[in-house]
Structure 1
Amino acid sequence: MTPFDSVAIVDWSGGNDTGARPRRDAIWLGLARAGEAQRPPPRYLRNRLEAEETLETLIESERTAGRRLLIGFDFPFGFPAGFAAALTGRADTLAVWHWLEARIEDSPRANNRFALAGAINRALGGGRGPFWGNGRPALDVPGLPRTKADYANPFPERRAAERIARGSFTCWQLAGAGAVGSQVLMGLPVLERLRRRFAPDVAVWPFQPLAGAPVIFAEIWPTLIDGAVKRATARGGIRDAHQVDLLAVALARLPRGDLIAMLDCDAAEEGWIMGLGHEKKLEQAAAQHGTDLRPPPLRDDCFALPAGVDWTPVDDALALLRDRLHPVVATTSAPLGKALGRILAQDVTARRANPPQPNSAVDGYGFAHSALGGGDQLLPLLPGRAAAGVPFDGTVPAGHALRVLTGAALPEGVDTVILQEDVTASDTQIAFRPGIRPGANTRRAGEDVEPGQTILAAGRRLTPADLALASATGLADLPLRQRLRVAVISTGDELIEPGDTPAPGQIFDANRPMLLGLAAEFGFETLDLGRIPDNRDTLRAAFDRGAREADVILTSGGASAGDEDHVSALLNAAGAMAEWRIAVKPGRPLALGLWNDTPVFGLPGNPVAALVCTLIFARPAMGLLAGAGWHEPQGFDLPAAFSKTKKPGRREYLRARMRDGRAEVFPSEGSGRISGLSWAEGLVELPDGAARITPGTPVRYLPFSGFL
């Protein structure tokens, strides 16, 4: 097993705050635990202050959980030989860390790295080196050359590791393409503070012994897995996010012996790049995980309603969900045998034509139609035959015939087949009447599917017939979405498990079995997080687990604004909560929000309203999150078998079923009548406006099967 329980990879930046929107050339953090990428996906950190706070929290949580943590940073930990002694008086790289931390000034919008580099140059290199690359176009920095013109470095240009690592850059360059010097100057002070705060639990490789240290800092370089990163980026997304995710999982999945070999290094002054010399093993591990790529998280404001919105019509609510949500599950690949019911991640094209070559559609006799004369036909019969999988080895001369069986590839010289029932045959010849058309009873190559033709579209939930088509066109593996993982929570002190003895005021939990069953019917994986009492801390812990282990959380109850409505209270406290007051019956306001980047659907506690809101709102939204696209329920119009007068203002959904071609509804509209859910086989949808329904009036019927 690996010597580390968790692996974090940090893609660093030496620049200023990069803004709220995730972007490249910024700070990104990827985390793998027990060999698997963790939720939430790679995290965008807009500045070093936020990054330092995030790393503090990560180290603290891993230490508390008793997990050994490796953190890799993508900038040099040391400088070329001789620099440490010249700067600090000691040939000790960690003394350089301490020296820089005492002098670097940093804020999200400004820092003094160029000024400090100029001061070092004036002290050690007469103002001509070792640093170069003034990135401040409007201000000259004394002692810091803008380019390498008139540049003189009193130290080696590169460390030993950089002379081996192809494509690496010198740590002396502070600005311009490929500059890592600014990352070093702005990164080492952060590492020094973290090292000091968590001493003696942090060991820095390769400068300190690692034995017994629960937290290891190591220098890494994502370019070691550049092939896997390029393939991942070609499918979309931000390169920085891909590389921290891929490298974290690659290191987490390596066998213990391989990791120990990577850490077996004696470069105590200059440092070393972890994995250098082991690129092939890292690339293989990264490539394996590279088929499991996760899209970016949802925006924090994805559930925000437009200003001034009060009651939202159903169609407006659905349009908002459709516009703002996108897939959140990773992409992977799997063989056909494991693809049934999965969501296709990309369009799939045929590798081979179907049929791959012209073949016979019947048992009969094949020949060249152009060689036939007028009147009755008498053709010599060649010895042998063509059968499916056993082609005829040779050419059929014009004016001759050959025995062919269904599915047999047509040999050279055959373009038409006559049914054996229409032929009189002997061992040496066949006879048949005139009238057969050219190409009769044959299938041309590719008449079903041409090579390169799109046969299955992204977002499709794969059926047995789809697997047959993929197999027939030469596909052994398919690009798939990981199954959406749906966590389900029931809230409320009044709930108990079926089979328990209820106290006064207690009821059995009906929602959780229903919601878990619905999610499974939709083709999603389910996670039962149980019944949560009206306790905010307990619910917070359940939310935390749901965000770690699932892609979406469904809750029932606690979603309004009362004293015990802890779902909405927690989402409000997290700053990502919206109460959608939707003009729908049955139903109450939906609490929609994000918890650690994971969407939460706070459903009503009433089972009837919970079912309707799940089908109408959560189902299509989860389809988008799963990569299956927006799912419109399949329905049709039926004559009503009931009477009803409806007021304007809200769309209504009645529990219904179809009998004798008519839609009948449950006799009571009471939202507490759970028996009506079992009685029903679908819903009747009544429009937002006023309506008067009498027997025979056309109504829209949505069978439950139409939501699958």
Structure 2
Amino acid sequence: MGFDSFAMVDWSSGNDTGPRPRKDAIWACVVRQGKADEGPTYFRNRELAEQWLLDLITTEIEAERRLCLGFDFPFGYPKGFARALTGSDDPLGLWEWFEHRIEDSPKANNRFDLAGEINCRFGGKGPFWFNGLKRKINGLPKTKADYHSPFPERRSVELAPEAKGSFSCWQMGGAGAVGGQMMTGLPVLTRLRRTFAGKVAVWPFEVLDTPVAFVEIWPSLTLGAAPEGRIKDAWQVEQVALSLAGMPIQDLARHLNVSAAEEGWILGVSQRKPNIAPPPLRNDCFALPAGVNWTPVDEALGLLRERLTVVTAAESLPVMQVSGRILADDVFAKRSNPPQPNTAVDGYGFAGAAPEGAQVMPLCDGRAAAGIPFDGVVPGGHALRVLTGAALPAGVDTVILEEDVTVQDNHIAFHGPLKQGANTRRAGEDVAEGDLVLTAGRRLTPADLALLSATGVADVPVRKTLRVAVLSTGDELIEPGGTANPGQIYDANRPMLIALMDRMGFQPVDLGRVPDDRETLRDRLNSAAKQADVIVTSGGASAGDEDHVSALLREAGAMQEWRIALKPGRPLALGMWEGVPVFGLPGNPVAAMVCTLIFARPALGLMAGEGWQEPQGFDLPAAFEKRKKPGRREYLRARVRNGRAEVFASEGSGRISGLSWAEGLVEIEDGARHIKPGDLVRFIPYSSFGL
């Protein structure tokens, strides 16, 4: 059932749309190894799209990669239609029927005429409707007025609650012209099946034991509006392919496990098959079905690192306003530092080295001080009074410390030897004009501001601060300080998460609390997507009846990675909402904080523009003993005392006091471990996460 490559195609029955990418055209996207292959591809007509599909299938078969290929039009008609036209209920026979009768070219096709001919077989008033041409077509009405269909209006799948808003396959034109897509798309699929005979299986009509599977997908089932500036069809094919590639194999297998012999089905719509056989009693909340493994922490982090990108725009600000901001571009010195040779000490300057023995030199009138240069040239064999930071006058390249000099009768005396250039600084010895000063992605520190200022950089290109919306979910939550009724608790997560975002250098957006109501949560997420670059929720991220965050993310095509082998931290949902990344954190504050540090912190940094930041830890001897089973990575609340790592007395996720007690985390690797006092463990201080 596993696939190596995933592709999604958004079809069109219209005429050639020209060379410039546009909406309401044909778009496709391929994902291999979890990464989109060069982004969505635009096709101006069906001939080009069919050739692309032919090449894609050939490439994947030759590379021995299993391909799941999705299309956004139905694979079957309502019950009875296939038999009425072909004498058989076989939907693939109906595909061939259309392939023999559809005449198609980039500029025109006969889909409307064929729909009219079919309608005339059944009295001329249905099942097809909407003549999209200017000329009259016998049997095909312009609208549904006086319309009558001898077949059901919709397939069974389109009556499911999840498919609300889907279009009828009888509609031939206008918005949602599924009928036209089918008539022009099914012949293409038929030719591909013929070309790759025995290597293509059509879901759900055939067993998926071939190198290529054709699957019906309705992108709007899980995706909403496209991000601003992107063509919806192009964005949707990319998101669907990425979602399929990121879906655990057991979830994909569950979606594909449907039966629909004639009408076909939409991937992701449940058939609600009863399954009441109880699982074996394991008494382990981390247990999964046999043969299914938890996603390792490193694998989940890798998925985030591959799929997320910078989302913040750039702006230019004065150097005094950029502390803590992230550089958007490399910065180069506009002036050398030092800008010219100068003295490093208070003393007396002259030219050349001083030989061994007593030296006596006459003094020139005047002096050189920082900001007050000497106006003149120091003659050879003469000295000049110089102060720290003063530009070296002409005729001076060496300085003797004033503590080593005797001054009398307008002369100085000192003992050599002294090397030429002693106690001076060369121009640009720190930074030369044009040198790379700081690289893009750096979060600017006070020291960086000093460097930028010293090298003449007044306006700095920085990223706008990443906006992180924070939302708590749960009927049981009330605001701290309120009157708590039985069963209610104070919302500890939101204050913690808002403070974490602020300390990490992001801009928190407080979205408050929502009850365990799916529609209320949906509205709040919609609002969050308009106000923030990232959404962080706590609670509702598992798979229970009231876990609405994960349920909504599944509907929206989230990358579902909550089965991560992490303690504490189960559950964790990672997804997209209206084009905005969502981190669905556990409701438990301890797990919420650990997941924020381990997963959200590096991901937020990447989206903010500072790249993927690995937390810096170091090995210390343990001041505790612990036995750990293999399979999960564990993070213990810890602090350092007397050079040894102590851990909190209880590992219970409900012990919030341990977060305050701790100064960081002890990370214990995925495998089995028996830690004894004195054994080395990895301690990651909170400061490594920017706290």
Shift of 1:575: 2.1
1:405 partner amino acid: L
Task: Tell me which residue corresponds to 2:27.
Answer: 19
**Other structure's SS at 1:580 match:** coil
**Other structure's SS at 2:25 match:** coil
Counterparts of 2:592 and 2:448, CA distance in 1: 34
**Other structure's SS at 1:652 match:** strand
Task: Tell me which residue corresponds to 1:304.
Answer: 246
Counterparts of 2:609 and 2:617, CA distance in 1: 23
The superposition leaves residues 264-312 of structure 1 with CA deviations (integer Å, 9 ceiling, x where unpaired) of xxxxxxxxxxxxxxxxxxxxxxxxxxxxxxxxx9956278256467411
Counterparts of 1:630 and 1:15, CA distance in 2: 34
Counterparts of 1:690 and 1:376, CA distance in 2: 74
Instruction: Please say if 1:597 is aligned against 2:579.
Output: yes
Shift of 1:705: 1.3
**Other structure's SS at 2:560 match:** strand
2:328 partner amino acid: A
Structure 1 547/15 Cα, relative in aligned 2: closer, same or farther at 3 Å? closer
Task: Tell me which residue corresponds to 2:553.
Answer: 571
Instruction: Please say if 1:524 is aligned against 2:510.
Output: no
Task: Tell me which residue corresponds to 1:395.
Answer: 377
**Other structure's SS at 2:681 match:** strand
After superposition, residues 268-283 of structure 1 pair within 5 angstroms as none
Which blocks of at least 5 consecutive residues in structure 1 are unaligned? 1-10, 23-42, 50-107, 114-189, 191-240, 246-296
Task: Tell me which residue corresponds to 1:350.
Answer: 333
**Other structure's SS at 1:490 match:** strand
Shift of 1:403: 1.0
Structure 1 242/652 Cα, relative in aligned 2: closer, same or farther at 3 Å? closer
Structure 1 523/651 Cα, relative in aligned 2: closer, same or farther at 3 Å? same
Instruction: Please say if 1:667 is aligned against 2:675.
Output: no
Structure 1 109/399 Cα, relative in aligned 2: closer, same or farther at 3 Å? farther
**Other structure's SS at 1:579 match:** coil
Shift of 1:554: 0.5
Structure 1 111/428 Cα, relative in aligned 2: closer, same or farther at 3 Å? farther
After superposition, residues 233-632 of structure 1 pair within 5 angstroms as 301=242, 304-305=246-247, 307=249, 310-369=293-352, 372=354, 375-426=357-408, 428-632=410-614
1:320 partner amino acid: L
Is residue 356–residue 417 contact of structure 2 (8 Å, CA) maintained in 1? no
Structure 1 109/336 Cα, relative in aligned 2: closer, same or farther at 3 Å? farther
The superposition leaves residues 230-253 of structure 1 with CA deviations (integer Å, 9 ceiling, x where unpaired) of xxxxxxxxxxx99979xxxxxxxx
**Other structure's SS at 2:554 match:** helix
Is residue 378–residue 431 contact of structure 1 (8 Å, CA) maintained in 2? yes
Is residue 568–residue 577 contact of structure 1 (8 Å, CA) maintained in 2? no
Counterparts of 2:590 and 2:392, CA distance in 1: 62
Is residue 364–residue 417 contact of structure 1 (8 Å, CA) maintained in 2? yes
The superposition leaves residues 341-380 of structure 1 with CA deviations (integer Å, 9 ceiling, x where unpaired) of 111111111111100000000111111115x566321112
Task: Tell me which residue corresponds to 1:643.
Answer: 625
1:483 partner amino acid: T
Structure 1 648/45 Cα, relative in aligned 2: closer, same or farther at 3 Å? closer
Larger mean Cα displacement after TM superposition, 305-314 or 442-451: 305-314
Counterparts of 2:499 and 2:566, CA distance in 1: 23
After superposition, residues 209-220 of structure 1 pair within 5 angstroms as none
Counterparts of 2:27 and 2:398, CA distance in 1: 69
Shift of 1:707: 1.0
**Other structure's SS at 1:446 match:** coil
Counterparts of 2:23 and 2:532, CA distance in 1: 35
Structure 1 493/45 Cα, relative in aligned 2: closer, same or farther at 3 Å? farther
**Other structure's SS at 1:376 match:** strand
Is residue 367–residue 416 contact of structure 1 (8 Å, CA) maintained in 2? yes
1:383 partner amino acid: D
Structure 1 460/395 Cα, relative in aligned 2: closer, same or farther at 3 Å? same
TM-score for the superposition, normalised by structure 1: 0.59
Shift of 1:340: 0.4
Shift of 1:109: 9.7
2:643 partner amino acid: G
Shift of 1:426: 3.0
Is residue 367–residue 402 contact of structure 1 (8 Å, CA) maintained in 2? yes
Is residue 471–residue 512 contact of structure 2 (8 Å, CA) maintained in 1? yes
2:422 partner amino acid: A
Structure 1 242/478 Cα, relative in aligned 2: closer, same or farther at 3 Å? farther
Counterparts of 2:341 and 2:371, CA distance in 1: 13
Counterparts of 1:615 and 1:298, CA distance in 2: 29
Is residue 332–residue 434 contact of structure 2 (8 Å, CA) maintained in 1? yes
Shift of 1:323: 2.0
1:17 partner amino acid: A
Is residue 353–residue 445 contact of structure 1 (8 Å, CA) maintained in 2? yes
Shift of 1:512: 0.8
Which blocks of at least 5 consecutive residues in structure 2 are unaligned? 1-18, 31-38, 46-103, 110-173, 175-225, 231-236, 251-291
% same residue: 66
Shift of 1:452: 1.2
The superposition leaves residues 146-192 of structure 1 with CA deviations (integer Å, 9 ceiling, x where unpaired) of xxxxxxxxxxxxxxxxxxxxxxxxxxxxxxxxxxxxxxxxxxxx9xx
Counterparts of 1:546 and 1:507, CA distance in 2: 24
Task: Tell me which residue corresponds to 1:270.
Answer: none
Shift of 1:580: 3.1
The superposition leaves residues 426-453 of structure 1 with CA deviations (integer Å, 9 ceiling, x where unpaired) of 3522111121111000000011011111
2:469 partner amino acid: A
Counterparts of 2:433 and 2:26, CA distance in 1: 46
| Number of corresponding residues | 445
Shift of 1:576: 2.9
**Other structure's SS at 2:678 match:** coil
Structure 1 439/18 Cα, relative in aligned 2: closer, same or farther at 3 Å? farther
Counterparts of 1:530 and 1:565, CA distance in 2: 18
Is residue 350–residue 474 contact of structure 1 (8 Å, CA) maintained in 2? yes
Structure 1 242/409 Cα, relative in aligned 2: closer, same or farther at 3 Å? farther
Shift of 1:671: 0.9
Shift of 1:577: 3.9
Is residue 314–residue 464 contact of structure 2 (8 Å, CA) maintained in 1? yes
Shift of 1:600: 0.1
